[in-house]
Amino acid sequence: MVKNLLAVIAVIPVLFLTACNPSDSTQPAGTNAESAAAPEEGEVVAMVNGQPITEQTLNMISEANRSANIPREKLIDDLIKHELLYQEAVRKNLETNEDVAQRIRFIQRSILSQAAMQDFIANTPISDAEIQKEYQQTFGSPGQEEFKARHILTETEEKAKEIIQKLKAGGKFEELAKEYSTGPVGPKGGDLGWFSAQQMVAPFSEAVVALKNGEYTQQPVHTQFGWHVILREDSRAKTPPPLDSMKANIQAQLQRKAIENHLESLRANAKIEIIPPKPAEPVIPPAAVPAPPASPSPESGRTNEQSSAAEEKPSEPPSLQEAAGGVDKSATPENQAPATSPKESQPATE
């Protein structure tokens, strides 16, 4: 149920614009249902808190959901739910939210751009003479030929020449196309089906016209797609489709071309500036954290640095008694009092 409701809402973006001021697309919506909702015209099919839902709106939704074949009662029920949600959004002033306001402005611009395109099409009709001219250019005059051909597309001329030599040596075109062709029809043996000369680029079509049925090109043919080896399999008199059966397609094609030309004209007369994105801020690595001070040795209570300094301390100079030879030889090192120098009696400084 929710999925169907969302589908109905999605195809009618104009319903979101009842909260917009059409004279100023940059302004957010109003703040209450009475001032924001524009009056609707046409036969009323439902009322929601005094706000009408008209037959015109129902027909618009029905047309947009024509392929879904949704019953009329279901569409009316979905519109009622939509209106209830809309009124709740207005009561909560959700239209003042910048993100919501921006989406409203975008939808309004989308609808107006579509309206401008429809207005251009309505005021720039495609004439029968233009359709006839395009028909002749596309399908040609009756009695022209169309061709059935295969081709092998390669990236280099050398590769195409190598394939031609393989054909001269008895190689089968279809098998070589499957093995070497880089084109999309390579897996099909290079089969292009039936086509008219006007449907192919000039170098390719000229090569096909110059061949006889059953012949292949003795030299590679170069186009913007690469290098071709072409086999003309058959030809026949072209029978173009009736103009009446192609008129609608040709008209739509000419309308697209007219719209593209119109957009190019609008762009040429507009001042357009594309703002490049700002460069990313440089990433500054965090400052190095200093190493924590060395912890005391569990056994001696001294730091590792102190232990190392004690081990590297040079041997003490002989005392005055030792220098004079007055040391008691019978005394053991444990019984001797250590001799100190004046320097050693002072505290060490780093």
Strands 191-196, 145-154: pairing kind: antiparallel
Quote the tokens at residue 192: 């292009």
- In sequence order, what DSSP letters do the residues of 11-27 get, joined into one string? T-GGGGGGGS-TT-TTS
Q: Are residues 94 and 175 in the same domain?
A: no
Q: Are residues 171 and 95 in the same domain?
A: no
Give the sheet arrangement for strand 221-223, strand by strand: 191-196, 145-154, 226-237, 221-223
- In angstroms, the CA 62 to CA 43 distance is 15
Q: Are residues 41 and 106 in the same domain?
A: yes
- In angstroms, the CA 191 to CA 174 distance is 8
pLDDT attached to residue 142: 59
Quote the tokens at residue 100: 């919501």
Q: Are residues 180 and 226 in the same domain?
A: yes
pLDDT attached to residue 143: 61
Q: Are residues 160 and 104 in the same domain?
A: no
Q: Is the four-CA dihedral 9, 13, 15, 17 of positive or negative sign?
A: positive
Domain count, the chain: 2
Q: Are residues 83 and 181 in the same domain?
A: no
| Domain limit, last residue, from 111, 129, 154 | 111
Q: Are residues 152 and 93 in the same domain?
A: no
By the 8 A CB rule, do 207 and 231 touch? Answer: no
DSSP three-state, residue 52? strand
Q: Residue 90: give the domain boundaries.
A: 2-111
Q: Is residue 313 part of a domain?
A: no
Q: Are residues 225 and 180 in the same domain?
A: yes
Q: Is residue 35 part of a domain?
A: yes
Q: Are residues 50 and 106 in the same domain?
A: yes
Q: Are residues 104 and 203 in the same domain?
A: no
Q: Is residue 29 part of a domain?
A: yes
pLDDT attached to residue 32: 42
| Domain limit, last residue, from 237, 258, 276 | 237
- In angstroms, the CA 82 to CA 5 distance is 8
Q: Are residues 102 and 155 in the same domain?
A: no
Q: Is residue 220 part of a domain?
A: yes
Residue 103: in which H helix or E strand, if any? helix 98-123
Task: Say which CATH number the domain at 184 has.
Answer: 3.10.50.40
- In angstroms, the CA 88 to CA 66 distance is 29
DSSP bridge pairs for 195: 147
| Domain limit, last residue, from 206, 237, 268 | 237
Q: Is residue 130 part of a domain?
A: no
Q: Are residues 8 and 102 in the same domain?
A: yes
Q: Is residue 166 part of a domain?
A: yes
pLDDT attached to residue 280: 84
Q: Is residue 339 part of a domain?
A: no
Question: What are the pLDDT tens digits along the chain (350 aa)?
Answer: 445 544 444 544 444 343 333 333 334 334 343 444 444 456 999 999 999 999 999 998 988 888 888 899 999 999 999 999 999 999 999 999 999 999 999 999 999 999 999 999 999 999 999 999 999 888 776 567 899 999 999 999 999 999 999 999 999 999 999 999 999 999 999 999 999 888 899 999 999 999 999 999 999 999 999 999 999 999 998 777 899 999 999 999 999 999 999 999 999 999 999 999 888 888 888 776 666 666 655 554 454 444 444 444 444 544 434 444 444 444 444 444 444 444 444 444 43
